[in-house]
Amino acid sequence: MLLSAWTDKMVSFPLDAKKYERLLKKKIADSAKQKKQKRKVVTTSDDFTKSFGR
C-alpha cells in the first residue's frame, strides 16, 4: 500500500523490492523528527472556582 501511495500507481505482486527500498530510504532521509514544544500553563485561583459552579 505504501509503494502505491508514494508512486500514485497500482502495484503488482511480488513488489519490486529495490524500488520499494529506494523510496523508503528517500522517505526516511526527507523526514525529520519534530521536538515536542513544552508549553507553560499559567493558572490563577479563580480559574478553578468557575469550574465547580459555586
Question: Is 48 part of a structural domain of the chain?
Answer: no
Question: Is 47 part of a structural domain of the chain?
Answer: no
pLDDT at residue 22, as a whole number: 92
Question: Is 53 part of a structural domain of the chain?
Answer: no
* Chain segment 9-44, per-residue pLDDT in tens: 898 889 889 988 999 998 888 887 777 778 887 777
Looking at the structure of the chain, the number of domains it has is 1
pLDDT at residue 53, as a whole number: 62
pLDDT at residue 21, as a whole number: 92
The domain of 20 spans: 1-30
User: How far apart (Å, rounded) are the C-alpha atoms in residues 47 and 2?
Assistant: 47
C-alpha cell belonging to residue 14? 511480488
At 46, the pLDDT band (50, 70, 90 cuts) reads low
pLDDT at residue 40, as a whole number: 82
